[in-house]
Amino acid sequence: ILNVEQSPQSLHVQEGDSTNFTCSFPSSNFYALHWYRWETAKSPEALFVMTLNGDEKKKGRISATLNTKEGYSYLYIKGSQPEDSATYLCAPGNAGNMLTFGGGTRLMVKP
Amino acid sequence: SAVISQKPSRDICQRGTSLTIQCQVDSQVTMMFWYRQQPGQSLTLIATANQGSEATYESGFVIDKFPISRPNLTFSTLTVSNMSPEDSSIYLCSVEDNWAGNEQFFGPGTRLTVL
């Protein structure tokens, strides 16, 4: 069983603040790193899939980086908005695309 | 991306009863998965639903407790049998979209409360 850790567990920021959180995972048997955004009562929404060391991906105000050698990924949100409030999940996957999820970072953005 | 629906969206059940959750996809997919999230815990894979054969269960999950059907490439069911309060969770199905770089897409989940 992979040990996937996300920090912090929860985060309260003001609208307009930029923020980032961390996902750490064992670097052995790694194939891809998935980030999801999960709002209450909705489906988890796929944000990024990254595979290569040094990958950087961006979607609007959200971006992510990947370091497969040391086993971590950062997710950044620039200029947080109340609609960014959600739980952000990371999940490393192996070659069979079996995902192991971290506990998530719960982000709350205050207007 | 695949569009996934689940029924029911939520339910409250009595201890000892069983509940079957349905997952419907709008396109044919090879891989379908069932996950659960217990309160305060991570999303955990229960099993991979294989079309035409028995599901593949992860450690800690057994067929008698979580029987799964996969009659075709667009549909699957998960039954939570002989429920106890510890089965109170959100249950989600997901599919692997081969046309989207093997990304996994999730249904909206079924929120189950067992009294």
Distance CA B81, CA A103 (A): 26
Closest CA to B35 of B49, B25, B46: B46
Of all residues in chain A, the one with the smallest CA distance to B96 is A97
Q: Tens digit of pLDDT for each residue in A2-14?
A: 789 999 999 999 9
Rama region for B9: left / alpha / beta (φ>0; ψ in -120 to 50; rest):
alpha
- Give yes or no for B8 touching A (CB within 8 A): no
Phi, psi of B85 (to 5 degrees): -55, -25
Q: How many residues does chain B have?
A: 115
Q: Is B101's pLDDT higher than 70?
A: no
Q: Tens digit of pLDDT for each residue in A55-95?
A: 999 999 999 999 999 999 999 999 999 999 999 999 998 87
Strands (E), chain A: 5-7, 10-14, 19-24, 32-38, 45-50, 56-59, 62-67, 72-77, 86-93, 105-110
Query: A103 contacts in B (CB within 8 Å)?
Result: 41-42
Of all residues in chain B, the one with the smallest CA distance to A100 is B44
Rg (CA), chain A: 13
Q: Which of A32, A41, A102 sits opposite B42 (nearest CB)?
A: A102
Contact A49/B101, CB-based, under 8 Å?
A: yes
Q: Tens digit of pLDDT for each residue in B43-88?
A: 999 999 988 888 999 999 999 999 999 999 999 999 999 999 999 9
Q: Which of A36, A97, A101 sits opposite B102 (nearest CB)?
A: A97
Return the structure tokens found at B38.
């217990």
Mind telling me how many Å the CA of B74 is from chain A's nearest CA? Answer: 18
Of all residues in chain A, the one with the smallest CA distance to B43 is A101
- Give yes or no for B108 touching A (CB within 8 A): yes
The pLDDT of residue A1 is 56
Of all residues in chain A, the one with the smallest CA distance to B5 is A43
Spatial strand order in the sheet of B75-80 = B4-7, B19-25, B75-80, B68-72
**B37-43 mean pLDDT:** 91
Strands (E), A10-61: 10-14, 19-24, 32-38, 45-50, 56-59
